Amino acid sequence: MGNRHKFTGKKITEDLLTDNRYLLLVLMDAERAWSYAMQLKQEANTEPRKRFHLLSRLRKAVKHAEELERLCESNRVDAKTKLEAQAYTAYLSGMLRFEHQGWKAAIEAFNKCKTIYEKLASAFTEEQAVLYNQRVEEISPNIRYCAYNIGDQSAISELMQMRLRSGGTEGLLAEKLEALITQTRAKQAATMSEVEWRGRTVPVKIDKVRIFLLGLADNEAAIAQAESEETKERLFESMLSECRDAIQAVREELKPDQKQRDYTLEGESGKVSNLQYLHSYLTYIKLSTAVRRNENMAKGLQKALQQQPEDDSKRSPRPQDLIRLYDIILQNLVELLQLPGLEEDRAFQKEIGLKTLVFKAYRCFFIAQSYVLVKKWSEALVLYDRVLKYANEVNSDAGAFRNSLKDLPDVQELITQVRSEKCSLQAAAILDASDSHQTETSSQVKDNKPLVERFETFCLDPSLVTKQANLVHFPPGFQPIPCKPLFFDLALNHVAFPPLEDKLEQKTKSGLTGYIKGIFGFRS
């Protein structure tokens, strides 16, 4: 295409189709324009003017796709490639009409693309059919979204089911679908004025809370129908995020009104205000959802504990991981007992107390399992007895609360498992005691002591004839030795010397006479 100084573009024609790589040139032009449009789609969220550039790049992608389809009409191209080029052009055309909100033209293009891919999937092998069916699943939400905007009201439920099965939509449809669901719930929220919980009806005036409460049943149904653990976890996080936003909206309403910040109404001791009771209800939903999420994670870890890890490089789960989850669950249950407005609800307090016993039993069970791993038999046996105590309390006190406990882990199954574990533990403890006795008397067992420290004990140690023989501690350890003594002359202070007065020269008294005698040399 020219030389190093000047670019001279060459148009690809049918005459040049002697090599299939000429088609890839046109395909890469379309893909380049498409990928740039997707980048602009992300940037347009904060810079709206880039939407114009986005539409321009989409039009350029469609132009290159149409050129590719025209070239594929040549006799040198096989039928499969012709159909794939037509589906590719129809898909890009549909996305362009989708952005222009031309719903009828977009749905026609998407349907054409879907039909071609379905025909190709039925005509080839299963391995190739997987790719075509995957493209059909990606296009289906776009078709239902266009149908909803045209006037098909039943499409919204199908869109939500598609989002659930696929684990979340991507691309241009993701934000539009979330906005559509929020808009639909907002329309329904206009008719919602109150909510009833535990025998008390409170008005709901905050729009964000209305939207959340209307979508609560849909979210719970979606979690129940989720097929994979990743989808469940994503839905739990989404529900908790919406719940936190609703709680924050209620808190902002509580702040300005000092009277509603006081929990007790005048003349009605023990009864909280409607707004505070609504706050307690939303907090109950948040904590209950957190308990269910952690319980679901615990079930997944229990399954992983029972299975052998396929990849040794990955860290396998341990009972300590489950203990941490049950600690969080018990903390959430304690917070439930402290909700304002439910202090005198004895049924609620009893129900939460029973749930606490159930999760305490499972927590003790996995603590015992962790002790079994380190061969602390007596501690594990005591904890197994504690598990049976909690489980028997639940069975004896459940009574009318069995319906509320049916979603929790089965306590009777836990009792059966604990009894079998106790038998296994006792057998393991006896075998371990026997093995330790044999270890002391067997000549085949060696310890980590060097040879210099076990001359009195005979054992066969093959490592002594290798290059890594453990003979002595090297380098040797430090040993205390006596140092050179220091002498201090302290006795001198206590020595009594003999009198020396008789050895000293006596000085005689002398006056004027002695002075005169001294002058003239007379001395006595």
For 195, other C-beta atoms within 10 Å of its C-beta total 18
What gap in Å lies between CA 375 and CA 322, rounded to an integer? Answer: 19
What gap in Å lies between CA 360 and CA 464, rounded to an integer? Answer: 52
Mean pLDDT by 10 residues, the chain (524 residues): 75 78 89 92 85 92 92 85 90 91 88 88 83 87 80 56 48 52 57 77 83 79 79 85 89 68 48 84 90 88 73 70 89 89 85 88 89 86 89 80 72 86 85 63 60 78 80 84 79 82 66 60 53
For 350, other C-beta atoms within 10 Å of its C-beta total 16
What gap in Å lies between CA 307 and CA 318, rounded to an integer? Answer: 12
Specify the pLDDT at position 258. Answer: 47
What gap in Å lies between CA 221 and CA 239, rounded to an integer? Answer: 12
What gap in Å lies between CA 211 and CA 184, rounded to an integer? Answer: 9
Q: Tell me the CA distances in angstroms from 161 to 86, 152, 172, 237, one per residue in order.
A: 29, 16, 18, 18
3-state secondary structure of 33: helix
3-state secondary structure of 445: coil
Task: Name residue 194's beta-bridge partners.
Answer: 203
Q: 251-271 b/e with 16+ CB inside 10 Å = b? A: eeebeeeeebeeeeeeeeeee
What gap in Å lies between CA 384 and CA 376, rounded to an integer? Answer: 12
Strands, E, within 199-342: which ranges? 200-203
| Nearest-10 Cα torsion for 287, 292, 296, 301 | 50
Q: Which residue has the tokens 């049924």?
A: 347
Specify the pLDDT at position 28. Answer: 93
Q: Residues 71, 12: contact at Cβ < 8 Å?
A: yes
The pairing of beta strand 194-197 with beta strand 200-203 = antiparallel
C-alpha 474 chain-centroid distance: 47
Query: What topology is assigned to 12-162 in CATH?
Result: Hyaluronidase domain-like (1.10.3450)
Q: Residues 285, 250: contact at Cβ < 8 Å?
A: no
Helices (H), 167-227: 172-189, 207-225
Specify the pLDDT at position 443. Answer: 46
Identify which of 247, 250, 272, 248 has the alpha carbon closest to the alpha carbon of residue 259.
Answer: 272
